[in-house]
Structure 1
């Protein structure tokens, strides 16, 4: 029972970030607002980060996917910051 709750939280975080990426991408397609595009890309990387977390801690506990998790988190933040800067320069 002790291992169920962390696993459930990790999987729910992956599902939530994937749903956010999908909804932001769909909103971008309908409105064309570039901030939605950058936010969707950020959440794609965050979903990948959560997927690596699930794989690292639950599926392959002997493997070390910490570097992959850190790189996807860095990519998520970098994409969002670049998007903010790029949109601020075009206005």
Structure 2
């Protein structure tokens, strides 16, 4: 059951990233770009979670997951603070 939830979280983040980046391409709004990049990073973090918990459970990938999530949130924060219209 956990593997289904992990996979659905990754797919949801991927869908959000695709929709945000498609909207950015249509409108050229900077906040959509930074939000799309954030969700790309969150999707990567969820994929790392799947690998961590299901593929190689003996290896601890928590630092990599946290770094990926921190970088993603940092991108969104940068976009919100420095690139607002």
- TM-score with structure 2 setting the length: 0.96
Deviation at 1:81, TM superposition (A): 0.5
1:31 and 2:27 equivalent?
Answer: yes
Deviations 1:17-62 (A, max 9, x none): 0111111001000110110000000000000000000000011111
Residue 8 (str. 1) matches residue 23 (str. 2) = no
Residue aligning to 1:19: 15
Matched, 1:67 2:53: no
- Aligned-pair CA distance for 1:85: 1.0
Unaligned runs of 5+ in 1: none
Tell me which structure has the larger Cα radius of gyration.
1
Counterpart pick for 2:80 among 79, 84, 87:
84
1:53 corresponds in structure 2 to: 49
RCO higher in structure (CA 8 A, sep ≥6): 2
Tell me, what secondary structure is at the counterpart of 1:41? helix
Runs of 4+ in 1 over 3 A off after TM superposition: none
The alpha carbon displacement at 1:76 in A equals 1.0
Shift in Å, 1:87? 2.2
Q: Please give the alpha-carbon distance, in whole angstroms, between the structure 2 residues aligned to 1:61 and 1:28.
A: 37
